[in-house]
């Protein structure tokens, strides 16, 4: 790649200047490429064909006065035969850099030149510091589809994302970044369509520049791609106006064209041998589990992704990205992961992307695919170790104790996750190198995590074979609905413990939309093809669900108001035995944890004392007490340096947060009912 000079930003695809449009397309294998200008009234009719001329590095170009905003067009390409090629001159192809695409039928698309003009009204990006971020992972349609307070024509649309009722809810629960599941244009797999299902999640991209049309209002879809862009930009502007960032889950690792025998809509028809990673016989090297992997040893593929990121960052004012199966994006010519890969390095160095937040899913399904903790400092990473450790402590271990009388784990691993997973992310990036989560779109939602021992995915049409079996979940004595009030109460407390652990852990917290109201998917842990009430956020919660929402809102408020709960750097708590530490761990007797305590699997009660000293000398100190055993116990509040008293702020044993005026002295004892947490604010003389 070192001798390849990438085109200037914004030069690929169609650019318009002084009424003349120029199109640039990449193919190193094609022998001819032509752009077909389509009849605006009948896009199946070509009114002009323009031959592109090949230039350096496989970039083809042509200019025409017809390539102006509103023009509908497509590409045709011819080339050699052979096992690595899939040229078919009868197919009208999508321009990989098209900013507008319309789907005419199941197998027919055409591109549209867009202007992109929009009035941002002076609203700037919020630029929220990473340590203050609370991410809300949501589906662009599912977030609002069930909101009956919205006009029916807006429910489930881009317009609804920026609607006051949506924004009010997000602000009330204290999240400040919405991470949208894929909204770059995607299509459903034929297999799903044949079963009457769709790819709901959207991890099946067919174009990396065009917003998915189905999430626009019917009026915008009818008006065309320009109107869809305006609707989406308006939603982003209004979220920004209210201090809420927009992050996109982006799927650059593969495309919807699938594996051998798959569809041909764009990249495959332009240059199958160079867009996709294959061997000489044309067999795809699939590290994504989706049939193909884009070839990131090809500098043109790297450039295409960079251009996509630049476009969404500038033209749509997107604040950041979560890269699906990101290991694939950094595989070199030998298909090995390279932390210094040109794509990663270019993202780090690109001034256009300098302020954008970059989050990776640090694995894929290929050899050497699990790379958590191995991405460059610029990237925060999904912390799957956090998810599994916290689930095991609060759920798997409790189930084990009921079955065998003993727990599998003590508190050592949980303490490591609570303090920022330094064993994985020890770098100058600090604690914000970790994106912590209990649940995500993939897997059990929070309510199901505490209500089901096994997955129930029969409605997906795969005989319950799909979805992970390693859930670390616990139904608390009854599978699914119909549990006794006692079991339901246990489940809700477990959910409060899980959510509080997440929001009181160092690192960036991410919650899944609907978990703030304890939505259920009826035990489905792979609802990728379910576009119905199963996956939509519940906008008519019951009293107990509203109580949980109050708890969640209070927990985010505590995190927001107390910087001690979200330190950015590890350096402030290097040595847990130092007299000058800002982080200390105590056992149930109020004594510093000993080596024996850390290694004792039956030691499951621990207190984390932490102190933040602001630049003006103001102290912010908290004591978090965790009890991971079902029987009630007494905990002695520690005599931490200079602490004169403790005020209880929160107790997970309560259904809703309760104001407390009671204060405690160091050395006093408090009762913790089984599997619970308490948070205290420390005071000083």
Active site residues: 324, 361
Beta strands in 200-349 (DSSP E): 245-250, 320-323
Q: How is residue 396 annotated by DSSP?
A: I
> Which residues lie closer than 8 Å to 353 by C-beta, 6 or more apart?
309, 310, 313, 347
Burial label, 319 (beta-carbon count in 10 A; 0-12, 13-18, 19+): buried
What is the Cα–Cα distance from 295 to 254, expressed in whole angstroms? 9
Q: Hey, how many other C-beta atoms are within 10 angstroms of the C-beta on 486?
A: 11
What is the Cα–Cα distance from 137 to 247, expressed in whole angstroms? 9
> Which residues lie closer than 8 Å to 274 by C-beta, 6 or more apart?
27, 28, 29, 58, 295, 298, 300, 301
Helix or strand (DSSP H, E) at 54: strand 53-54
What is the Cα–Cα distance from 336 to 328, expressed in whole angstroms? 9
Range 215-222, long-range pairs (CB < 8 A, 24+ positions)? 215/140, 215/141, 215/156, 215/157, 215/158, 215/183, 216/157, 216/158, 216/159, 217/153, 217/154, 217/157, 217/158, 217/159, 218/153, 219/153, 220/157, 220/158, 220/159
Q: Which residues of 115-148 are buried (b: 16+ CB within 10 A; e: fewer)?
A: ebebeeeeeebbebebbbbbbbbbbbbbbbbbbe
User: Token pair for residue 577?
Assistant: 């035995």
Bridge partners (DSSP) listed for residue 59: 26
Closest Cα to residue 267, out of 595, 599, 26? 26
What is the Cα–Cα distance from 14 to 24, expressed in whole angstroms? 7
Bridge partners (DSSP) listed for residue 284: 278
> Which residues lie closer than 8 Å to 404 by C-beta, 6 or more apart?
none
What is the Cα–Cα distance from 101 to 112, expressed in whole angstroms? 6
Look at the block and give the residue holding tokens 């699939």.
286
């Amino acid at each position: 790649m070192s001798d390849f000079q990438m085109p200037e930003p914004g030069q690929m695809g169609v650019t318009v200047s002084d009424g003349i449009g120029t199109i640039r397309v990449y193919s190193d294998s094609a022998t001819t490429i032509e752009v077909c200008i389509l009849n605006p009234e009948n896009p199946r009719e070509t009114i002009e064909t323009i031959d592109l001329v090949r230039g350096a590095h496989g970039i083809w170009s042509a200019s025409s006065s017809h390539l102006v905003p509103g023009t509908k067009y497509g590409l045709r390409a011819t080339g050699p035969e052979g096992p690595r090629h899939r040229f078919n001159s009868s197919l009208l192809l999508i321009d990989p850099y098209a900013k507008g695409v319309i789907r005419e039928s199941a197998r027919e698309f055409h591109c549209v030149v867009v202007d992109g003009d929009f009035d941002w009204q002076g609203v700037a990006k919020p630029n929220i510091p990473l340590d203050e971020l609370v991410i809300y992972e949501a589906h662009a349609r599912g977030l609002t589809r069930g909101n009956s307070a919205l006009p029916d024509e807006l429910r489930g649309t881009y317009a609804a994302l920026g609607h006051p009722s949506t924004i009010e809810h997000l602000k009330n629960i204290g999240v400040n970044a919405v991470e949208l599941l894929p909204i770059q244009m995607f299509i459903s797999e034929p297999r799903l369509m044949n079963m009457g299902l769709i790819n709901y999640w959207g991890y099946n991209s067919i174009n990396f520049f065009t917003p998915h049309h189905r999430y626009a209002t019917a009026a915008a879809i009818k008006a065309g791609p320009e109107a869809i862009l305006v609707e989406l930009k308006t939603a982003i502007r209004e979220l920004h106006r209210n201090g809420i960032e927009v992050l996109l889950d982006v799927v650059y690792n593969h495309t919807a064209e699938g594996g051998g025998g798959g569809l041909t809509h764009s990249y495959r028809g332009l240059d199958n041998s160079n867009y996709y990673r294959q061997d000489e016989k044309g067999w795809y090297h699939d590290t994504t589990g989706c049939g193909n992997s884009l070839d990131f040893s090809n500098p043109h593929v790297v450039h295409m992704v960079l251009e996509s990121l630049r476009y969404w960052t500038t033209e749509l004012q997107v604040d950041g990205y979560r890269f699906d199966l990101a290991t694939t994006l950094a595989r070199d010519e030998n298909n090995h992961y390279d932390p210094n890969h040109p794509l990663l390095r270019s993202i780090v160095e690109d001034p256009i992307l300098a302020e954008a937040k970059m989050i990776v899913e640090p694995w894929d399904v290929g050899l050497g695919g699990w790379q958590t903790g191995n991405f460059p400092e610029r990237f925060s990473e999904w912390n799957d170790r956090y998810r599994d450790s916290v689930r095991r402590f609060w759920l798997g271990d409790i189930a084990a104790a009921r079955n065998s009388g003993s727990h599998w784990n003590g508190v050592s691993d949980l303490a490591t996750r609570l303090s920022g997973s330094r064993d994985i992310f020890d770098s100058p990036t600090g604690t914000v190198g970790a994106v912590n989560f209990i649940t995500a779109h993939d897997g059990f939602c929070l309510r199901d995590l505490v209500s089901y021992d096994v997955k129930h995915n029969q409605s997906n049409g795969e005989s319950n074979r799909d979805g992970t079996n390693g859930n670390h979940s616990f139904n608390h004595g009854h599978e699914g609905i119909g549990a006794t009030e006692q079991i339901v109460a246990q489940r809700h407390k477990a959910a409060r413990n899980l959510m509080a652990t997440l929001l009181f852990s160092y690192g960036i917290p991410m919650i899944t939309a609907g978990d703030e109201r304890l939505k259920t998917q009826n035990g489905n842990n792979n609802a990728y093809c379910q576009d119905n009430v199963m996956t939509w956020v519940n906008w008519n919660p019951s009293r107990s669900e509203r109580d949980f929402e109050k708890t969640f809102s209070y927990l985010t408020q505590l995190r927001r108001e107390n910087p001690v709960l979200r330190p950015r750097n590890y350096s402030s708590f290097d040595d847990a035995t130092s007299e000058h530490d800002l982080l200390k761990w105590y056992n149930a007797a109020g004594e510093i944890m000993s080596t024996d305590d850390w290694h004792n699997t039956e030691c499951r009660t621990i207190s984390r004392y932490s102190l933040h000293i602001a630049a003006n000398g103001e102290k912010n100190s908290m004591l978090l007490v965790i009890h991971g055993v079902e029987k009630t116990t007494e905990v002695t509040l520690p005599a931490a340096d200079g602490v004169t008293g403790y005020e209880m702020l929160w107790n997970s044993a309560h259904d809703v947060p309760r104001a407390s005026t009671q204060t405690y002295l160091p050395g006093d004892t408090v009762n913790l009912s089984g599997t619970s947490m308490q948070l205290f604010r420390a005071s000083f003389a």
